Structure 1
Amino acid sequence: MKNLVLANFGMGLYNFRKEILKELINQNNDVYISLPNDEYVPKLERLGCKFVETHLERRGTNPIKDVRLLLHYIKLIKRINPDVVLTYTIKPNVYGGLACRITKTPYITNITGLGTSVENKGIIQKITLMLNKIGLKKAACLFFQNDTNLKFFLDQNIVKSKTRLIPGSGVNLDHHTFEEYPEDDGKHRFLFIGRMMKSKGIEELLQAAKIVIEKYPNTQFDLIGHCEEDYHQQLAELDQLGIIHYHGQQNNVHSFIKKSHATILPSYHEGTANVLLESASSGRPVLASRVPGCIETFDEDVSGYGFEVKSVESLVEAIIKFIKLPYEQKKAMGIAGRKKMEKEYDRKIVINAYMDEINNLKGEMV
């Protein structure tokens, strides 16, 4: 079979979905990937994928560029003539789905989260929902990463086709191996992994870090991720003051998780937060906002703590509560998190779900 994958950036495709691509290639399928060119494309090509460059602005709202993307997808599908198209993230889902409908090509869609344009009510939300309704209507299967997103799409009458709930992208338990908890040296090391942007809760985190450091100066906040919005100056100033340590984009995230005592994610919305899965898989407790896509990844007081979204006060309370925990309890939280990942979030669950649906389509073609 020929498989065409539409995605918006290489890092997500490589870090969270390469096992599905490898499985398809191992079963003698041709796998074409359509996305913007970046440093992850050579890695994807080494797996055996065939790359097609696609210009796409992940967060842009220019309708002319979006029409160009749709036309590009139509032309691409006609040229490759895939047996099935797999789409990930909002624009590939919407415009890729529409292109598949126009060309009468089977497609499977993954709802990786609602995104800011859907979360915030108003005209942009209405347009986005309408586009989703058009693009997703004929999908062979819609994968959802949490119950809340699925319910939202059902309530909005967007979903017309088969749906399946999967545990996010799952986590590669072999890559994110269990790590012994750091020694009790009197330091409290918290890690944030994500893009530096408002919707990831970066503003609340920076304010909380200032408050916590003042009360507990032996606390360290390490931040990893690309600065996607204008926080450069603020990050540099707080780094200079020793309130945070900003490390920029990093390829080896696991080495940072290994040194940390807990991972913090104050995100406003998620499909399923991969950083929380990876941290828990490595044996680290997680502190996360109580939003869909985060709350499912930990058990309250067992493998992590939740806090109210967009609340600096609630975030500070959770951090201090964790700091005050006896060392052995922190360690036990990490072990509980790993067990939860093994039971509920093994990436093999996601791979099997995809292969089921692709094989169903293959059976229909015979």
Structure 2
Amino acid sequence: MKKVLILANNDIGLYKFRKELIKELVKEYEVYISLPYGDFVPELERLGCIFVNTPVSRRGTNPITDLKLILNYRKIIKRISPEVILTYTIKPNVYGGLACSLTKIPYIANITGLGTAVENGGLLQKITLFLYQLALKKASCVFFQNKENQRFLSKYVQYKFGRLLPGSGVNTEYYSLLDYPSSEQVNFLFIARVMKEKGIDQYLESAEYIKGKYPNTVFHVLGFCEDKYEEKLREMQEQGIIKYHGLQNDVKSFHKLNHCTIHPTYYPEGMSNVLLESAACGRPVITTNRSGCREVVNHGENGYIVQPKNTKELIEKIEMFLSLSHEEKKHMGISGRNKVEKEFNRNLVINAYMEEIKKVLK
């Protein structure tokens, strides 16, 4: 069998967002995965993957560590001798791409988001774009998850062929349309890493205001919490303003009671899986006017779009949502489900990958 090597920076994202693709790949190819060990590695192995333990410092900027990663990737590629390599996220895209170029192995990159280094400008942006130029110029295909990323990178980086994907897509069978809750209590969900750039401050400020004015609302927070927010979340939970549930591997049970997902991020997203999964379950969404977020929302139809970092506007849209009747909220959720089925079905992503891999291997 021909071999496919996947370079990624963590097991959770690979399993949750790419497992359907992997299931298709293992039918035809011997599939290797190179990433750091994590709890989902056994699940990936059960799918048929061969695991190669590869340390990746996801946010480190140590040039010696990054050079070691390039050399490690080169060593792995030479040992496995794959026919094609798939790369995901910034470091595997950049350093994996460089290693692929050195070993002359065809590769397909996926730009899952440009990251804060590119977003914030300055010297780090210039260095990152230079590395992208070196890494992507020989790629067989560069997949983008939103048009803005594609337009921006195309200004600075030359590559052979680019193609737009609907993010990672969503498994519409697993995230099926759920009955809309009929309880008088209105539940809102924040599902993300609890960090400033994900809009947690705007969410908490809105929760405090809305809860004081509308006592029948409940504001839930799901996600790994960065240290500086732990005390604040604990205090707000004790005050009855929010309910913090920590990191959850499966959020479907929370969507059953959820009336609306609030995703006030201003982080450089590729395509928000939180929004895709929420909409697939038939839940209205409120999010920001950012690439990777606005694509999922038809404003006023399946949710609302607000400006990033704007708590006042977020509160206005929450109040607008609360003013809707039960049937209007339910209809908004169904509109989101229809949009996801049509535009963001994960099968669209799988088919695109299988097409590009076959082009490389023919």
Matched with 2:329 is: 330
AA in 1 matched with 2:249: N
Q: Which amino acid aligns with 1:11?
A: I
Partner of 1:122: 122
Q: Post-superposition shift, 1:104?
A: 0.6
Report the Cα distance in structure 1 between the residues aligned to 2:54 and 2:239, rounded to whole angstroms: 41
Q: Which residue, 228, 246, 252 being the options, matches 1:230? A: 228
Contact between 2:187 and 2:260, CA under 8 Å: does it hold in 1? Answer: yes
| Post-superposition offset of 1:282 | 0.5
What SS does the corresponding residue of 1:173 show, helix, strand or coil?
A: coil
Report the equivalent of 2:85.
Answer: 85
* 2:250 aligned to which of 240, 249, 252: 252
Give per-residue Cα distances to partners, 1:218-273, cap 9 Å, x unaligned. 11111111124532221222122121111111111111112100111111131110
Instruction: Determine the C-alpha separation between the residues in 2 that align with 1:302 and 1:296.
Output: 13
Which residue of 1 is the match for residue 48 of structure 2? 48
Specify the alignment match of 1:99 in structure 2.
Answer: 99
Contact 1:145 1:167 in 2 (8 A): yes
State the one-letter code of the partner of 1:142: V
Q: Report the Cα distance in structure 1 between the residues aligned to 2:358 and 2:227, rounded to whole angstroms.
A: 41
Structure 2 letter corresponding to 1:299: N
The code of the aligned residue for 1:66 comes to: D
2:177 and 2:143 mapped to 1: Cα distance? 28
Structure 2 CA distance for aligned equivalents of residues 178 and 291 of structure 1: 26
Partner of 2:153: 153
Aligned partner of residue 231 in structure 1, secondary structure: helix
Instruction: Provide the residue aligned with 1:21 in structure 2.
Output: 22
Kept in 1, the 8 Å contact 2:142–2:159? The answer is no
Distance 2:275 2:225 in 1: 20
* CA RMSD of superposed structures (Å): 1.0
Is the counterpart of residue 171 in structure 1 residue 170 in structure 2? yes
| TM superposition shift of 1:164 | 0.5
CA contact (8 A) 1:196 1:229 kept: no
Corresponding residue number in structure 2 for 1:66: 66
| Alignment partners' CA distance in 2, 1:219 and 1:38 | 37
**What are the superposed Cα offsets for residues 161-208 of structure 1, whole Å, 9 maximum, x if unpaired?**
20010100010011001001001x321111111111122111221122
Please say which of residues 70-79 and 55-64 is displaced more in the overlay: 55-64
The question of whether the paired residues in 2 share the 8 Å contact of 1:116 and 1:199 is answered with no
Report the secondary structure of 1:230's partner residue: helix
The residue type equivalent to 2:275 in the other structure is: L
Deviation at 1:346, TM superposition (A): 0.7
CA drift at 1:319: 1.2
Distance in 2 separating the partners of 1:326 and 1:129:
48
Mean CA deviation greater in 203-212 or 5-14: 203-212
Q: Which residue of 2 aligns with 1:210?
A: 208
Amino acid at match of 1:257: H
Secondary structure in structure 2 of the residue aligned to 1:52: strand
C-alpha deviation, 1:356, in angstroms: 0.2
Distance in 1 separating the partners of 2:263 and 2:16: 19
Gaps of 5+ in 2: none
Aligned length: 360
How far off its partner does 1:138 sit? Answer: 0.9
- Mapped contact 1:191–1:222 kept (Cα < 8 A): yes
Q: Distance in 1 between matches of 2:60 and 2:215?
A: 41
Letter in 2 for 1:17: R
Distance across 2 between alignment mates of 1:127 and 1:202: 30
Name the CA distance, whole Å, in 2 between partners of 1:222 and 1:287. Answer: 14
Q: Using the alignment, how far apart are the partners of 1:307 and 1:124 within structure 2?
A: 29
Q: Is the 8 A contact 1:32 1:49 kept in 2?
A: yes
Distance (whole Å) between structure 2 residues aligned to residue 98 and residue 323 of structure 1: 51
Matched, 1:272 2:232: no
Question: CA separation in 2, counterparts of 1:230 and 1:104?
Answer: 45
Aligned partner of 1:352 in structure 2 is 351
Matched residue type, 1:10: D
Percent identical pairs in the alignment equals 54
User: Of 167, 190, 205, which residue of structure 1 is paired with 2:188?
Assistant: 190
Residues in 2 aligned to 1:186 and 1:137: alpha-carbon distance in whole angstroms: 56
CA contact (8 A) 2:255 2:278 kept: yes
Q: Please tell me the residue identity of whatever aligns with 1:9.
A: N
SS in 2 for 1:247: strand
1:197/1:229 contact within 8 Å kept: no
User: Residue 270 of structure 1 aligns to a residue in which SS?
Assistant: coil
Aligned position for 2:313: 314
Deviations 1:296-340 (A, max 9, x none): 012111111000011111111111111111111100001111111
TM-score, with structure 1 as normaliser: 0.96
Q: Distance in 2 between matches of 1:208 and 1:60?
A: 33
The answer on 1:298 being equivalent to 2:297 is yes
1:159 Cα deviation after fit: 3.3
Is 1:8–1:89's contact at 8 Å kept on the other side of the alignment?
A: yes
Give distance in 2, aligned partners of 1:230 and 1:3: 41
